[in-house]
Structure 1
Amino acid sequence: MCAMRLLLHGLLLCLISSLCIGQAAAAVRVGNFVWEDLDKDGVQDSGEQGIPGVTVQIWNSAMTSLVGSAVTNATGNYQIMVPDNANYRMRVILPYAGDRFTLPNVGSDTTDSDILSSSTNIGTSNVYTFASGVVANLSLDAGVISDPMRDHNIGDKVFRSNVDGLQTSTTFGRSGVTVELLNTAGVTLQSMVSGSSGHYSFKALPGTYRLRFTHPSEVPTPMQDNGTDDSLDSDIDENGYTD
């Protein structure tokens, strides 16, 4: 009788254990690639490189709960583990403010971008269902069109000059100076005021430009392009213009 009770108890534990295991959600491996779409066609082409350091997130379908997150590696790849038998959306955070997403869902699912580039859900994918038993979905990709002016910066520093017009280790930056970016006709394209450290910066497409510097109470140094080190000299003439 005792042996029978032990046998029944063992069978009951086995049944409970099996039910619990059956109810546990399995993990799905989600990935895979964030790349720079150079020709803006929405398709991963040969020679188009992955983008490292991009945050990729998996949310529930209602976008109310973050399920998992990862940052793309040096080759632009990522992987996130999420429970199966659920609905999700992928979200990608653009690496730079001026970037945008390429065309979504063009051609094969293995080479397209799954991130919506317009509508109220911009930056997220459509809803994906990972059914019970699915082990991996490695086709969730994102194509990014880079800001064309991201790497075209004009600027540096306005500094309080000695009589020789050169920066030294004790030279201070000059704040409050109005700096204008001009085209070849002298028309102001952009304008800003130098910050507390004297620095300023403009984004501009490749081309020919001039800069004009104006301060309400101080005048430019007359020593333009003095010396042989262009990183230390002053580039403006006595009227505040660069060449």
Structure 2
Amino acid sequence: VKIDSTITDASGKYLFDSLVAGTYSVQFVKPVGVDFVNQNVGVESTDSDVNPTTGKSDPVVIDTTKPIGDPARNNRDVDAGIKPAYGSIGDFVWTDVNNDGIQVPSELPIPGVKVYLYNGAGTVKLDSAITDANGKYLFDSLLTGTYKVKFVAPTGTIPAKQNVGNDLMDSDANKLGWSQVVTINTALLPSDTLRNNPNVDAGFVPVGSLGDYVWFDTNKDGLQTSGEPAVKGVKVYLINGTTGAKLDSTVTDTNGKYLFDSLLSGSYKVQFVAPKDTNFTTKGTTPTSGLDSNPNATTGLTDAVTIDTSFPLGNAARDNRSVDAGLTVNLGSIAGKTFDDNDKSGTQNAGDTDRSGVKVYLYKETTPGVFVKVDEVVTDSQGNYKFNNLTSANYQVQFNKPTGSTYTTPNVGDDTKDSDANPADGRTGIININTNLPETDLGRNSKYNDAGFTPIPDNCKDEICVPFEIKKVKK
């Protein structure tokens, strides 16, 4: 039965006097936002006497037969301690082996995971913790407010699917490790999950990886050899090994390296895109070495590679760093011959002679219709010349006619024997070099770009001829 009530004064004091002998209990009403501290933890004169849940003290006996001032008659030790009301957020991090986003008994906890507490906006870091041996973490002493939890994915894992089932058993971390906003209300009972939330969990899925290297196979032996350079900027695709669907893509870095990480257990293929003027080297010359080339020379596609995340981190079955591609450079050439067209037929015949020492210029189309000189050579003793190491492009060859000669008539017949130099400027027509063609194809290695020369007649100067003067001779 409630007998009386009062309010504590500015000094926190209260008093019920004029009590007759009997048994009493004092009940305190806690202010909003506070809790009672633990009961009877020390000496009677200084500890708290109220039950933290009910706010009631134990029964107190008042005996008026005792002298005034005796604690049994005038008890001044029925006190109540209060503390700010706090909430908490926890609780569990586990390995989601089957990638379903739900905790099952066979899936193990993950100790040592870093967990951060942020404000509800995710802009201010408030606290941090590390999961214990049982995968547990706890942020306590939280005031009323909104919070977010951020989990740092352990090496070799990615966050599981978020919020796919019962909040007691599912994962609350998104792909970046963030939980949803969690509201804590300390005015509620300690047993209320809106005050003490033990259901902010995170599952992490084991993953593997695929890499690793693209290089120029300069000696064309199909193996990585010291001194052979890495190739930057090669496009690489990750392919589903079963369906053939493209899953991801990347580009090799300055060291020729690429990496597809965060891979679930499964079958994969890698497809490399050969840069312009290159081909893939011979596949699998020494398959067990880890130094050979893996893509098909035609398609750029490797065989299927199985990733098994049940193996330890760094194991080749989980993290495969041996899917490489060697490239060979496709280059073309332009060659031909200069000759003295003695019979002025415009074609090379038995009576014609080789013309050595002729300067020959190579022009390359750098922008549409614009040709820039890129090289020059001089014909050898047999009148031959050759420009090597050409990439795919349009070219022209220009011949510098020897002193006392002019160009013969061009393009009169068999291209392997006639002259190709335009008499107006000494240039050939456009020669297209396509290094993706076989080496034996004239579209890659163009051979018959020739120039024939005829002598300038005595009555001509700078190719301008005048009639001979005809004189009448007396007999």
The one-letter amino acid of 2:292's match is: D
Residue of 105, 116, 140 corresponding to 1:46: 105
Residue of 242, 245, 250 corresponding to 1:192: 250
Provide the residue aligned with 2:267 in structure 1.
207
TM-score between both structures, scaled by the size of structure 2: 0.35
RMSD: 4.5
Could you tell me how far 1:241 is from its partner in structure 2?
Answer: 4.2
- Select the structure that is richer in helix: 1
Contact 2:159/2:173 (CA < 8 Å) preserved in 1? no
CA distance in structure 2 between the partners assigned to 1:181 and 1:65 by the alignment: 38
Please list, as runs of the form range in 1=range in 2, the aligned pairs for 1:1-243 lying within 5 A after superposition. Answer: 25=84, 30-37=89-96, 38=98, 40=100, 42=102, 44-52=103-111, 54-60=113-119, 65-73=124-132, 75-83=134-142, 86-93=144-151, 95=153, 99-103=160-164, 105-106=166-167, 111-113=168-170, 115=172, 123-130=179-186, 137=196, 139-144=198-203, 146=205, 151-163=207-219, 164-168=221-225, 170-182=227-239, 189=246, 190-202=248-260, 203=263, 206-207=266-267, 209=269, 211-222=271-282, 224-227=283-286, 229-239=288-298, 240-243=300-303
The one-letter amino acid of 1:101's match is: Q
CA distance in structure 2 between the partners assigned to 1:54 and 1:28 by the alignment: 22
Task: Give the match's secondary structure for 2:285.
Answer: coil
Contact 1:56/1:72 (CA < 8 Å) preserved in 2? yes
Contact 2:148/2:181 (CA < 8 Å) preserved in 1? yes
Could you tell me how far 1:46 is from its partner in structure 2?
Answer: 0.8
CA distance in structure 1 between the partners assigned to 2:293 and 2:235 by the alignment: 16
Task: Give the match's secondary structure for 2:185.
Answer: strand
Contact 2:236/2:251 (CA < 8 Å) preserved in 1? yes
Could you tell me how far 1:157 is from its partner in structure 2?
Answer: 1.0
The one-letter amino acid of 1:76's match is: G
CA distance in structure 1 between the partners assigned to 2:85 and 2:239 by the alignment: 61
Which structure exhibits the higher relative contact order, with contacts defined as CA atoms closer than 8 Å and separated by 6 or more residues?
1
CA distance in structure 2 between the partners assigned to 1:242 and 1:158 by the alignment: 13
Contact 1:54/1:72 (CA < 8 Å) preserved in 2? yes
CA distance in structure 2 between the partners assigned to 1:170 and 1:213 by the alignment: 23
Could you tell me how far 1:69 is from its partner in structure 2?
Answer: 1.9
Contact 1:91/1:115 (CA < 8 Å) preserved in 2? no
Greater Rg, structure 1 or structure 2?
A: 2
Task: Give the match's secondary structure for 1:229.
Answer: helix
Task: Give the match's secondary structure for 1:214.
Answer: coil
Q: Deviations over 1:85-136 (max 9, x none)?
A: 5345342346266643233644xxxx4348387xxxx7225312346996x9
Provide the residue aligned with 2:457 in structure 1.
none
Q: Deviations over 1:33-75 (max 9, x none)?
A: 1224447364x32112224554433345676654322233565
TM-score between both structures, scaled by the size of structure 1: 0.61
CA distance in structure 1 between the partners assigned to 2:290 and 2:297 by the alignment: 19
Change beyond 3 A, Cα 1:242–1:104: closer
CA distance in structure 2 between the partners assigned to 1:204 and 1:139 by the alignment: 29
CA distance in structure 1 between the partners assigned to 2:197 and 2:160 by the alignment: 24
Contact 1:56/1:90 (CA < 8 Å) preserved in 2? no
Contact 1:40/1:145 (CA < 8 Å) preserved in 2? no
Taking only the aligned residue pairs, the percentage that are identical comes to 25
CA distance in structure 2 between the partners assigned to 1:77 and 1:235 by the alignment: 45
Contact 1:178/1:192 (CA < 8 Å) preserved in 2? yes
Question: Which sections of structure 2, spanning at least 5 residues, go unmatched?
Answer: 1-10, 14-46, 48-80, 304-475
Provide the residue aligned with 1:8 in structure 2.
none
Could you tell me how far 1:209 is from its partner in structure 2?
Answer: 3.5
Range moving further from structure 2, 136-145 or 195-204:
136-145
The one-letter amino acid of 1:199's match is: K
Change beyond 3 A, Cα 1:27–1:171: farther
CA distance in structure 2 between the partners assigned to 1:62 and 1:182 by the alignment: 38
The one-letter amino acid of 1:86's match is: T
Change beyond 3 A, Cα 1:151–1:171: farther
Aligned residues: 214
- Select the structure that is richer in strand: 2
CA distance in structure 1 between the partners assigned to 2:166 and 2:296 by the alignment: 54
Provide the residue aligned with 1:5 in structure 2.
none
Provide the residue aligned with 1:4 in structure 2.
none
